[in-house]
């Protein structure tokens, strides 16, 4: 993964060179067993495990998305949803440019929990963080407990991206990450924060120029 | 659109900065605090502030921008504080060392056990078919245990003194090792037997049987300190398993006494009740004898429980509490069951009651007789019945007023009658039973006696 960025440009499958590489820290939050790890696994590996084991601590994955001339590399921190790991969460969402707050559309409680996560992010995380709300397990809409409209309205009021996703059927999984990727550079433009960070080798100074200019 | 990603998924308590796995949540928080502390962060955030300040100067940006930057740096600090203090503190890491302890202990125990067992087997072999002749004994011993060659050992292994003609070499009969006479230990045959077979009762010799006392070789086995120690340890363990503390014995004694005395108490109450009813089955003497017996048991219980208090125990220890509660239990038992026994009735009172009962009975018989007479008069049968009634009256009176002397005069007159003989035998039994305080037997014997007397009465009627 390191050599992807070092050269300043990477080879696309079709051979064309890519000029811009952006790197974003993205964190997934939400109650346990709503499908955070499944969403990430679907996005990163294209896989789905019916019996996904519960995450311990946090999981770290990367995936690169290409939008026009820019390669957007997501550094994804998939946090453990269990309440006892809650104290770790601030460490992971600190400095994150994007967050996906996940709930299970079959579970009203998980939606309530998602709202408190959103509140916490708005209060504690970087002010310019892009938050997306994902109503996961959309394939199980038959036993839905959270209305699409209700969630949509909540998302609009709070300025969140919103999609109902299904890690199992891959519905809206790539889409939600893409939507975040598209929203991110625009948000970034003026802020002095290091929204876009280089890989470890490069210095902060060069990073500031990555996508903003 | 998506590039292939073959990087591994890492999971665990990952540091968000350096991605090292810290194994536990606490370690991760600690690591985060130590390695990526606020200072470094502050430097970077202040750098941002300076950068924006520079920008402001250069680009004339409005004030909002810089305040935003400061705010964001502050919010980051806040979040760090949150990380540090959030959630209840969990107890540190536990590590169970029991397995390690067992791993160390088991081989050690095993080594001791096998060594001890070897010695026991050898001891057993030495003792079975042990010849009486000293020369043969030596041969017997050497056949079983290979003795170490004396030439190889210059000094006694335990006292390091050299051997010469007054300090001769001796062999441990169990392991074959060499030592001098002073370092030898001797185990008597009897005690050896008891080690081999714990149930073996041996005549308790004077206490110093295991000491270094040189006895005749026939009844001791010479052994080195090491072997003796192993055997003694085993013996102690066996004794420890069999021995019970004094308090247990005391408690058991008290419990058996309690169990014994309960039927006595019940019987005493029964006797008193029957006396007040005017029955003649038991006498006042019975009651007082039984009362005396119960009283003596109560005294014994009291003494035993007092003994428990005199046992040594640390102030405030569980042992002391046990002793106290044992004593309290006994006191409660005595109070509940033994002190509240009804008093022995006064003899005159009982006599009055009995006389009254006799009178009542007589009146009843009289009334029955009259009624019967009236009834039988109609059938011309009155004579026989009246005779029967009067006779029964005298019989019952004799029986109830004085059980013992009543028939004795008759015995002399009708000594040949088998019924009389039987009655006398039963009476003898009752007397014996009374002496032995077997009150239940008395009751059944009395019933038996009544039947016999009734039979006798019927017989005399027919005559």
The pLDDT of residue B77: 52
- Residue B31, chain A, CB below 8 Å: the answer is no
Higher-confidence position of B368 and A103: A103
- Residue B19, chain A, CB below 8 Å: the answer is yes
With bands split at pLDDT 50, 70 and 90, how would you rate the model's confidence at A202? very low
Higher-confidence position of A207 and B245: B245
d(CA A76, CA A62): 6
Q: Is the pLDDT of residue A114 over 70?
A: yes
The pLDDT of residue A62: 92
The pLDDT of residue B392: 42
Set of chain B residues whose Cβ sits within 8 Å of the Cβ of A91: 16, 28-29, 32, 83
Short-list A188, A192, A134, A172, CA closest to A23: A188
The pLDDT of residue A207: 41
Weakest mean pLDDT among A12-16, A168-172, B55-59: A12-16
Q: Is the pLDDT of residue A140 over 60?
A: yes
- Rounded percentage of chain A residues whose pLDDT exceeds 90: 55
Q: Is B62 helix (H, G, I), strand (E, B) or coil?
A: coil
Contact A87 B47 (CB under 8 A): no
Whether the complex's predicted ipTM is more than 0.85 is answered with no
d(CA B359, CA B366): 10
Higher-confidence position of A81 and B435: A81
Q: Which two tokens stand for residue B436?
A: 């032995």
- Residue A77, chain B, CB below 8 Å: the answer is yes
In this prediction, the residues of chain B whose per-residue pLDDT falls under 70 are 1-7, 37-90, 198-218, 377-416, 463
Burial track B434-443 (b if 16+ CB lie within 10 A, e otherwise): beeebbeebb
Q: Which residue of A has its CA nearest to B1?
A: A66
Q: Tell me how crowded residue B397 is: count the other CB atoms within 10 A of its CB.
A: 17
The pLDDT of residue B190: 80
Set of chain B residues whose Cβ sits within 8 Å of the Cβ of A57: 11-14, 21, 25, 28
Q: Is the pLDDT of residue A95 over 90?
A: no
The pLDDT of residue A131: 94
Q: Which two tokens stand for residue B223?
A: 């052994």
Q: Which two tokens stand for residue A7?
A: 């050269």
The pLDDT of residue B414: 52
The pLDDT of residue A16: 46
The pLDDT of residue A28: 95
The pLDDT of residue B217: 53
Contact B11 A62 (CB under 8 A): no
CA distances B335 to A134, B265, B331, Å, are 78, 13, 6
Closest CB from B21, B51, B76 relative to A192? B51
The pLDDT of residue B426: 85
With bands split at pLDDT 50, 70 and 90, how would you rate the model's confidence at A122? very high
> Do strands A20-30 and A98-104 pair parallel, antiparallel, or not at all (unpaired)?
parallel
> Do strands B10-12 and A58-67 pair parallel, antiparallel, or not at all (unpaired)?
antiparallel
B71 vs chain A: nearest CA distance in angstroms?
9
- Residue A64, chain B, CB below 8 Å: the answer is yes
Chain B stretch 70-109, residues whose beta carbon is closer than 8 A to a beta carbon of chain A: 71-72, 75-76, 78-80, 82-83, 86-87
Set of chain B residues whose Cβ sits within 8 Å of the Cβ of A66: 1-3
The pLDDT of residue B316: 77
Between chain A and chain B, the number of residue pairs with CB atoms below 8 A apart is 117
A65 vs chain B: nearest CA distance in angstroms?
5
- Residue B3, chain A, CB below 8 Å: the answer is yes
- Residue A15, chain B, CB below 8 Å: the answer is no
Q: Which residue of A has its CA nearest to B44?
A: A204
Q: In what order do the strands lie in the sheet with B10-12?
A: A161-164, A130-136, A98-104, A20-30, A70-79, A58-67, B10-12
Short-list A86, A103, A211, A91, CA closest to A160: A103
Section A8-30 average pLDDT: 68
Contact B287, B268 (CB under 8 A): yes
The pLDDT of residue B372: 80
Q: Is the pLDDT of residue A203 over 80?
A: no
The pLDDT of residue A159: 92
pTM of the entire predicted model: 0.37
Closest CB from A59, A87, A178 relative to B10? A59
The pLDDT of residue B201: 54
The pLDDT of residue A194: 43
Mutate one of B7, B16, B35 to test the A interface: name it (highest A CB count within 10 A).
B16
- For helices A108-124 and A148-158, the axis angle rounded to 10 degrees is 10
- Token pair 């219980």: residue: B301
The pLDDT of residue B70: 64
């Amino acid at each position: 993964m390191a050599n992807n960025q070092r050269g300043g440009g990477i080879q696309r499958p079709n051979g064309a060179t890519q000029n811009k590489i952006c790197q974003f820290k993205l964190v997934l939050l939400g109650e346990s067993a709503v499908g955070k790890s499944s969403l990430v696994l679907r996005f990163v590996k294209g896989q789905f495990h019916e019996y996904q084991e519960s995450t311990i601590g946090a999981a770290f994955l990367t995936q690169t998305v290409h939008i026009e001339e820019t390669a957007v590399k997501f550094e994804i921190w998939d946090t453990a949803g269990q309440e006892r790991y809650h104290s770790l969460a601030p460490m992971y969402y600190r400095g994150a440019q994007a967050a996906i707050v996940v709930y299970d559309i079959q579970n009203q409680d998980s939606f309530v929990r998602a709202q408190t996560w959103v509140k916490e992010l708005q209060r504690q995380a970087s002010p310019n963080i892009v938050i997306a709300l994902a109503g996961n397990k959309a394939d199980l809409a038959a036993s839905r407990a959270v209305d699409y409209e209700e969630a949509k309205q909540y998302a609009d009021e709070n300025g969140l991206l919103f999609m109902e996703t299904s890690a199992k059927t891959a519905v809206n999984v790539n889409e939600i990450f893409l939507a975040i990727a598209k929203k991110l550079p625009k948000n970034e433009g003026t802020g002095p924060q290091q929204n876009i960070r280089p890989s470890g080798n490069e210095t902060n100074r060069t990073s500031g120029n990555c996508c903003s200019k | 659109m998506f590039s292939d990603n073959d990087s591994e998924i890492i999971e665990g308590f990952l540091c968000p900065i350096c991605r090292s796995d810290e194994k536990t949540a606490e370690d991760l928080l600690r690591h985060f605090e130590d390695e990526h502390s606020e200072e470094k962060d502050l430097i970077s955030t202040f750098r941002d502030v300076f950068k924006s300040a520079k920008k402001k100067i250069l680009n004339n940006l409005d004030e909002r921008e810089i305040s935003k930057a400061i705010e964001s740096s502050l919010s980051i600090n806040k979040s760090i504080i949150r990380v540090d203090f959030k959630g209840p503190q969990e107890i540190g890491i536990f590590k169970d060392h029991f397995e390690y302890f067992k791993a160390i202990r088991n081989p050690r125990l095993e080594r001791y056990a096998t060594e001890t067992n070897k010695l026991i087997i050898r001891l057993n072999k030495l003792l079975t078919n042990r010849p009486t002749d000293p020369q043969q004994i030596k041969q017997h011993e050497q056949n079983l245990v290979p003795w170490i060659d004396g030439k190889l050992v210059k000094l006694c292994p335990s006292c390091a003194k050299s051997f010469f003609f007054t300090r001769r070499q001796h062999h441990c009969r169990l392991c074959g090792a060499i030592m001098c006479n002073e370092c030898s230990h001797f185990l008597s045959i009897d005690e050896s037997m008891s080690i081999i077979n714990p149930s073996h009762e041996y005549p308790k010799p004077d206490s110093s049987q295991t000491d270094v006392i040189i006895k005749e070789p026939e009844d001791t086995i010479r052994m080195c300190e090491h072997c003796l120690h192993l055997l003694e340890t085993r013996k102690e363990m066996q004794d420890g398993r069999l021995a019970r503390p004094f308090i247990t014995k005391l408690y058991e004694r008290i419990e058996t006494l309690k169990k014994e005395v309960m039927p006595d108490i019940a019987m005493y109450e029964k006797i008193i009740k029957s006396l007040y009813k005017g029955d003649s089955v038991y006498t006042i003497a019975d009651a007082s004898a039984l009362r005396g017996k119960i009283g003596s048991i109560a005294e014994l219980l009291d003494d035993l429980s007092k003994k428990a208090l005199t046992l040594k125990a640390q102030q405030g220890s569980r042992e002391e509490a046990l002793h106290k509660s044992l004593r309290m239990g006994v006191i409660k038992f005595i109070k509940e069951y033994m002190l509240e026994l009804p008093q022995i009735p006064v003899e005159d009172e009982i006599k009055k009651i009995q006389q009254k009962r006799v009178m009542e009975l007589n009146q009843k018989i009289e009334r029955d007789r009259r009624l019967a007479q009236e009834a039988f008069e109609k059938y011309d049968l009155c004579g026989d019945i009246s005779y029967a009634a009067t006779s029964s009256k005298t019989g019952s009176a004799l029986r109830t007023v004085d059980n013992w002397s009543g028939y004795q005069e008759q015995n002399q007159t009708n000594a040949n009658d088998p019924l009389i003989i039987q009655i006398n035998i039963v009476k003898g039994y009752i007397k014996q039973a009374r002496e032995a305080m077997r009150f239940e037997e008395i009751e059944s014997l009395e019933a038996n006696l009544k039947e016999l007397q009734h039979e006798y009465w019927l017989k005399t009627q027919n005559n």
